[in-house]
Amino acid sequence: MFAEKFLPKQVPLASGADQKPFRWLALLAAFRAWLFLAILLVTFELWARLTYGGTFIFNPQNVKSIALFTVTPLLLGLGQTFVIISGGIDLSVGFTMGLSAVVTAHVYNWAAQFGHPGISLVVAVAAGFAIAVVPGLINGLLIADLHVPPFIGTLGMYGVARGVAFLLAKGTTVPVEGGLLGKIGNGETLGVPNLVLLTIAIILGMHYLLSQTRYGQHVYAVGGNVNAALRAGINVRNNTIALYILSALTAACAGIFYTAKFSAGAAQAGEPVLLDSIAAVVIGGASLFGGSGTIIGTIIGALIVAVIQYGLVFVNVEPFWQFVAVGVVIIISVLVDQMQKGGRK
């Protein structure tokens, strides 16, 4: 329908042999994220060589920095991928992340008074995950049982999680006393940051869950047509509740990683990353109307966001242009998705 709006009414959409150019456009649209990432990398590489006589892609420090830039939006985006594929959205993940970061810091400091640092770490991480389940469960119940629109329900939880996180932090950051958490957050294994390795492990688990399990098939089914999913015997209610809990748990991962990296918990830790997490999912090919999306696509989308952010800093562009660039890419991605849907219709 989108394409028909911009074509003269007397000109029918191409069919038969004339559809070949449209197939090429569809192919380009399907791989748009990969193509755009390649263009970004080549552009910044040429800029680095022509302006500084150096390199962008082949500098190990740049690669490591981009990987670390990618961790937080990607972790938030992993859970967001499931939610968006189901036809929903989770606007609360930013402050769920902050709430988890603050609780992790407080519990780590409390537990460190009584036992071994390793035990303190386990207790703190468990607390960080446990507190995140609360907003995730409430989101799921609001949407599944009370039929509150996901945008409204999660926006309300955004405010609640934000207020509770700032109250627990008393309006400031919560420093972590003790070095084990910080050593893990800033350490490396075989030259690769520990947080990147842990994120890779989470990615593998989420990819398997979405692409290789019955639960993942149900997520796509619910997003494609909820009424058909109900007729097929899928428990849409439980599926929806699980989706928002899963999204909250990946936000908790991001919060725990933040506390580990900066040796402090901050209520506002995830606030600037909310847009980036949604951008990563949409840029990666997921449809905001539900029914499509992949973990691989979200990874590419998060890399695009990270490359834009780090690359603009690398070439000495004002950091505020990052928001403009990411916003433009989101708009283009949504327009391409609309064009694809129009072409299929």
Q: What is the pLDDT of residues 182-210, one digit of tens each?
A: 899 999 999 899 999 999 999 999 999 99
HSE-up of 236 (CA within 13 Å, CB side)? 21
pLDDT on residue 1: 39
| CATH number of the CATH domain containing 289 | 1.10.3470
Nearest to 184 by CA among 125, 246, 260: 260
Whether the Cβ atoms of residue 141 and residue 243 lie closer than 8 Å to each other:
no
DSSP code of 49?
A: I
Q: For the chain, which residues score pLDDT lower than 70? A: 1-30, 178, 337, 339-345
Nearest to 91 by CA among 149, 172, 169, 167: 149
pLDDT on residue 11: 38
CA dist., res. 319 & res. 317, Å (int)? 6
Does the CA dihedral 306-210-332-58 come out positive or negative?
positive
pLDDT on residue 116: 80
pLDDT on residue 163: 95
Residue ranges making up the domain that contains 274 = 2-344
Work out how many domains the chain is built from and give that number: 1
pLDDT on residue 340: 64
